[in-house]
Chain A
Amino acid sequence: METVSVLPELTIEPTEIKLMSGSEALMRSLVAEKVDTIFGYPGGAIMPVYDALYDFQDQINHILVRHEQGAGHAAQGYARMQGRAGVCLVTSGPGATNLVTAIADALIDSTPLVCIVGQVGKKLLGTDAFQEADVMGVTMPITKWNYQITSADEVPEIMAKAFYIAQSGRPGPVLIDMTKSAQLELMTQPFVYERCQTIISYRPRLTPKQDQVEAAAKLINEAKRPYIFAGHGVQLAKAEEELLAFAEKTGIPVATTLLGQSTIPTNHPNYVGWLGMHGNYGPNVLTDQADVIIAIGMRFDDRVTGDASKYIRQAKVIHVEIDPAEIDKIIKAHAPIVGDAREVLKALLPLVKENDHTVWRNEFRKYDVIENENITAPELSGDTEKIKMAEVIDLLSRKTNGNAVLVTDVGQHQMMASRYYQFRQKNSLVTSGGMGTMGFALPAAFGAQVAAPDRQVVAIIGDGCFQMTLQELGTIVQNEQPVKAIILNNNFLGMVRQWQQLFHSRRYSFVELQNPDFVTIAKGFGMAGHTCNERETLSDSLDQMLAFDGPYLLEVIVEKEENVFPMVPAGASVSQIRLK
């Protein structure tokens, strides 16, 4: 058979109206959504979009990452600081699959992302073409919504939907798979962009139902030992002020989840600590003594509840959630309130009585004393040979007056950062909670710094985590972002080692690392840094890092085998929390 290659005919539009390509329409859609920053990596199937982007450089700042996963996490860091969707742009096949971890992380941590992914041409779909992967199929379970654009005309409407879905209700990642043919072809109609306001089949409830609010207010007013759990939803709804007003009026103690940290200043009299496996002692133990739990924008993750069948069986639960599927999912709610945390708190405030609950709040202080005697004070005493992680965080907290944005990775250092940093400002912790993605911190810190140029961003990273995404040092340096990265180096995959020590009789199975010289690596990327190995130089080291004009990497050699306590062992109830 004869093979004929047909070149596409050049068609010159005779009409006066300039019809634009799908790629240009995509750019104009991003501009219409006021997107000024995108994180991406080019490749074959997304090249027409990159070609269009070339003409939009004055309006859109494209940041070239070193790996698509880095683009995803950077966009997450950006979204978490900005409170609106982070945008990623990657190519088909491996470009898209490399993004998968970040998408899954964004879904479970309710982070708005719009991921634009190239795809092979429409005619090649399903033919196992070069760099073709079924990205729609792959990402269906881990996106809030995904859609394949196969014609240029679809672009404005679909992009408007993508941003609306990603950012409204319970935020989440949206993936747009755009065929190369749709990027190249011309629209058949003039480009008109209308921002999406509503979708018939998707109507997140913001304003709560009044009867739900009244039922909850009644429970709160009758409660003797009420207890607020503030989750990530408070931050997502920008409800920090409303939470404070509510807590101050009612006098109810407030604990946060891991992602809820920094929604209330740690020195606020109502703040009692944070919940969960490595959270504070009192907040966990007293969970079992409260009579009414007011859970706001949190989802009773198993790291918070321990054994859910033994969890808060004595208390009535008021569950404030924007996502109705979260209600009764893990814990039965006696008084569910579906709505945006901010709207709900605003509606509740006039209905609740003034109170102070001093006696009940003081219960927490008793446990603080025990925790301090058994854990905090010894951790900070400085009587060990090597520096302890807690000391580094504690000192950092004091030197930054609790005003830095902490971006943490996953493991012991993450828990230590949460335990010892005294958050004073809202929106100050970016971490991978639900997915527990190692390698999250470095790119996310970069994204956070881009989103919040006026804030001091400090990434706290373990030596294991750092090696998962360290190539993003290149992105940080190229973009001159003054990210400070602290590697807490114990030469171990510390959290796994801790579990192996406690639950697998010290059978250390593949947790010790032979690490490279991190400072040399940083220098190779053009980033300044140094190693701190002595307690005497720790303070100066931190000063040097914080004062440095530009990105800086500080490696702190910490004690090899320290453990994070308190700890609720997996499968135990929260009141069985261990102090050692």
Chain B
Amino acid sequence: MTTYTICIFTGNTIGLLNRITIIFTRRRINIESLTVSETERKGVSRFTIVIRHESRDEVEKIVRQIRKIVEVLAVFGYLNDEIVFNEIALFKISTPLGSKPLDVETINKLHKAWVVYWGLDYVVIEKTGNETEIFAFFEYLRQYEILEFVRSGRVAVGKTEKGLVEYLPEAEWAYYL
């Protein structure tokens, strides 16, 4: 199984998320993570969808199916080494009186994570990084009581100058750009 990151640039219309996700559900592909936000261009949204799949051919077919959606401006499929990617995680840690004190130095210096909120009996720690880093931090925090843990899903930008991916076959990329 290989991880693929699919970046989709679209106009901003109601129901578009559904139009995109049914392409995955119809082919029984599980979406690992999904983030949507408006880009630097007004009215243009960027979907970042992470999937795991054993066949690159199949992923390429999915990319082409997504590109058929009328509102889709462009679609790029990436392998991990072709993108800079990160996600954000929040950990709510229980800190009642008498519990094991947090090692803030390790948290800050080793894990590059920060306490962003102090509650009465808990703190919220924010960690930015890739999945591996976040899970390493998760393992580290297991010694404390984790009340809640949430990840944002991946955001990514391509490493190529144009954002165009060479590993996808030629077909018709050009006219979308």
Report A's interface with B, CB cutoff 8 A: 136-137, 140-141, 144-146, 148, 165, 199-203, 205, 323-325, 327-329, 336, 338
Question: Chain A residues with Cβ under 8 A from B70's Cβ?
Answer: 144-145, 165, 199, 201-202
B65 on the A face (CB < 8 A) = yes
B57-69 contact mask (Cβ, 8 Å, vs A): 1 or 0: 1001100110110
Nearest B-chain residue to A148, judged by Cβ: B14
B171 on the A face (CB < 8 A) = yes
* Distance, CA A148 to CA B22, complexed state (A): 19
Please tell me which one of the listed residues B18, B57, B73 contacts residue A137 in the complex, with CB atoms under 8 A apart.
B18
Nearest A-chain residue to B25, judged by Cβ: A141
- In the bound complex, do residue A205 and residue B72 qualify as a contact, i.e. CB atoms below 8 Å apart? no
Question: Chain A residues with Cβ under 8 A from B26's Cβ?
Answer: 141
B164 vs chain A, min Cβ distance (A): 16
Nearest A-chain residue to B26, judged by Cβ: A141
Beta-carbon contacts under 8 Å, B13-61 to A: 14-15, 18-19, 22, 26, 57, 60-61
- In the bound complex, do residue A201 and residue B10 qualify as a contact, i.e. CB atoms below 8 Å apart? yes
Q: Beyond the given A202-B70, A324-B171, A327-B64, please list 16 additional residue pairs across the A-B interface where CB-CB is below 8 A.
A: A140-B18, A140-B19, A141-B22, A141-B26, A146-B15, A203-B175, A205-B172, A205-B175, A324-B64, A324-B67, A325-B68, A327-B171, A328-B57, A328-B60, A328-B61, A338-B172
Please tell me which one of the listed residues A136, A148, A328 contacts residue B169 in the complex, with CB atoms under 8 A apart.
A328
* Distance, CA A523 to CA B68, complexed state (A): 48
Question: Chain B residues with Cβ under 8 A from A144's Cβ?
Answer: 70
B126 on the A face (CB < 8 A) = no
B26 vs chain A, min Cβ distance (A): 7
- In the bound complex, do residue A329 and residue B15 qualify as a contact, i.e. CB atoms below 8 Å apart? no
Highest count of chain B CB atoms <10 Å: which of A199, A200, A325, A328 = A325
- In the bound complex, do residue A325 and residue B64 qualify as a contact, i.e. CB atoms below 8 Å apart? yes
Question: Can you report 17 A-B residue pairs in the complex whose CB atoms are below 8 A from each other?
Answer: A137-B18, A140-B19, A141-B22, A145-B70, A146-B15, A148-B14, A148-B15, A165-B70, A201-B70, A203-B176, A324-B67, A325-B64, A325-B65, A327-B171, A328-B61, A328-B169, A329-B64
Nearest A-chain residue to B57, judged by Cβ: A328
* Distance, CA A203 to CA B68, complexed state (A): 10
Known: A141-B26, A201-B73. A325 touches B15 (CB 8 A): no
* Distance, CA A136 to CA B18, complexed state (A): 10
B64-93 contact mask (Cβ, 8 Å, vs A): 1 or 0: 110110111100000000000000000000
- In the bound complex, do residue A201 and residue B11 qualify as a contact, i.e. CB atoms below 8 Å apart? yes
* Distance, CA A201 to CA B22, complexed state (A): 19
Nearest B-chain residue to A165, judged by Cβ: B70
B58 vs chain A, min Cβ distance (A): 10
B69 vs chain A, min Cβ distance (A): 8
* Distance, CA A145 to CA B72, complexed state (A): 12
Question: Chain A residues with Cβ under 8 A from B175's Cβ?
Answer: 203, 205
B75 vs chain A, min Cβ distance (A): 11
* Distance, CA A144 to CA B19, complexed state (A): 10
Task: Please give me the 10 A-B residue pairs with the lowest Cβ-Cβ distance, nearest first.
Answer: A325-B64, A145-B70, A201-B73, A202-B70, A324-B172, A324-B171, A141-B22, A325-B68, A325-B65, A201-B71
Question: Chain A residues with Cβ under 8 A from B57's Cβ?
Answer: 328
- In the bound complex, do residue B68 and residue A323 qualify as a contact, i.e. CB atoms below 8 Å apart? yes
Question: Chain A residues with Cβ under 8 A from B72's Cβ?
Answer: 201
Please tell me which one of the listed residues B22, B67, B73 contacts residue A325 in the complex, with CB atoms under 8 A apart.
B67
